[in-house]
Amino acid sequence: MQHTPRRTIASIGSVVVVALSLFLAACGGGGSGSSSGGVVNLTFWSFNQQITEQADKFNATHPNIHVTAIKQPSGFGQYYPKVLAAIKAGDAPDVALIEYQYVPTFVSKGALVDLTPYGANDVKSQFDPGAWALESINGAFYGYPQDTGPEGLFYNAAIFKKAGITSPPKTWDEYAADAKKIHALGKNVYISAFSATNTGWYQALNWQAGANWFSTNGNSWVIDVNSAKSQQVAAFWDNLISQGLVDTNSADGDFQPGWNNALDHGTIASWISAVWGQGVIKGNAADTKGQWAVAPLPQWTAGNKDTGAWGGSGISVITGTKHPKEAAEFAQWYLTNPDSLKIGVNEIGWYPSNLQARQTALTTPDPFFAGSQSGGQIVDQVFANENLLSGWAFPPDLDAVTNFQGNDFNTAITNHLSLASQLPAIQNQIINDLTSQGISATAGS
């Protein structure tokens, strides 16, 4: 065996040579945002799978512009650090998908182009006003709304029936009463999981209650996490948590394996989620096909149809593009052209913010959701009948807010403290964080 090391050197050496020659051959090319032969080249980043099909359609009808669409990883801590690093390096795409919740963060870094000078207002009437408002900050407009995530209630009607509940809760009071009935079915049967770190979900419930955590007053941010309305929402969940009527085990939180399993085995009976949640339930709880149904979000005032949104995104033009006019043209085309919208709705699965496209999406009943009517519900229709409140805005430091809220709520649940008692601390941490970045911020209440 004395010779083996030498042989290993030789084989490593040869592998290196082969590999080097392989990738030298493969290298070269690249570069974006350039124009050659009168054609403007644009790069477009999104985390949807089918964007290349849409770009092909655009390129076929726009001989002077060529868009290269690149699908990026979507995970938290992945897509946005990448986009922000690319902006810093000057390598950013010309056009990119940015979720509504991140728009103010990007604007505070000067990363997005105001689209008002490029004819944005000409198409304003085509879009959901609630979504349009999320892209409008201080009179400027930063991206065309792509999809929206109004919240509703997905529930397993078979379990509700077993608990003696014949119709879904219309108010939060009814929801609390149903929570009790469902927990009576068994020690580990719950109406819902309550995941402390699920910040977007929880913010949308505050949005529905009419709270507005983040707003602007001139050049200053007003942080109002501790308002009476936020206290009302926190007190509601504190009540359910202290009675043990919702599952606060973090292993059963949304998207966790325990949660997937509980949905499929009927030990978690409902999920307050956005319209895109239908795909999650269908994928994860396939054994309960036909038992599910969807209802509007329970209300604080009976008879209302208010909701907030969890998720949703728009198409923005990134500062530093050499061709803002063409980039803005593509962004507008992407969300107003019927062919592009059709791919978005049918293949990607958007609940579109473009109102005309939304109408076409509201036609097919889904047999998976046949729990309340045979043949299934037209799921998107339930969400379309809700009223997405205007007035909510997202903060200019979303990642920090997510950390503060997630950590403080987690601590509260672990130590049996109330969520309500954490709100002042969360508010102060946000104000301090903004102030330390040189952004003016004051307390709302």
Binding residues for other proteins, rule: CB under 8 A, are 5-6, 8-9, 12-13, 15-16, 19-20, 22-23, 26-28, 30, 45, 47-49, 70-75, 78, 81-82, 85-86, 88-91, 93, 146-147, 149, 255, 257, 260-261, 264-265, 274, 276, 278-280, 282-287, 311, 313, 348-350
Write out the DSSP string of 410-424.
HHHHHTT--SGGGHH
Rank residues 52 and 445 by Cβ distance to other proteins and give the closer one. 52
Distance of CA 216 to the CA centre of its chain: 22
Rank residues 280 and 378 by Cβ distance to other proteins and give the closer one. 280
Write down the residue that tokens 């309500």 correspond to: 420
The count of other CB atoms within 10 Å of the CB of residue 396 is 24
| 29-47: burial string, b at 16+ Cβ within 10 Å, e else | eeebbeeeeeebbbbbbbb
The count of other CB atoms within 10 Å of the CB of residue 126 is 17
Residue 187 is encoded by which pair of tokens? 């020690």
Rank residues 35 and 256 by Cβ distance to other proteins and give the closer one. 256
Shortest Cβ 82–other proteins spacing (Å): 6
The answer to whether the CB of 134 falls within 8 A of the CB of 251 is no
Shortest Cβ 30–other proteins spacing (Å): 5
How many angstroms separate the Cα of 375 from the Cα of each of 292, 368, 385, 395? 12, 9, 20, 42
Shortest Cβ 342–other proteins spacing (Å): 15
Rank residues 38 and 283 by Cβ distance to other proteins and give the closer one. 283
Q: What share of the chain is helix, strand, coil (3-state, %, to 5)?
A: 45, 20, 35
Rank residues 255 and 385 by Cβ distance to other proteins and give the closer one. 255
- Three-state secondary-structure class, residue 315: strand
Give me the amino acid identity at 303: G
Rank residues 26 and 60 by Cβ distance to other proteins and give the closer one. 26
Question: What are the φ/ψ torsions at residue 313 (nearest 5 degrees)?
Answer: -150, 165
Cα-atom radius of gyration of the chain, to the nearest Å? 25
Rank residues 175 and 292 by Cβ distance to other proteins and give the closer one. 292
Shortest Cβ 129–other proteins spacing (Å): 20
* 289 contact partners, CB below 8 Å, separation of at least 6: 282, 367, 368
Shortest Cβ 201–other proteins spacing (Å): 12
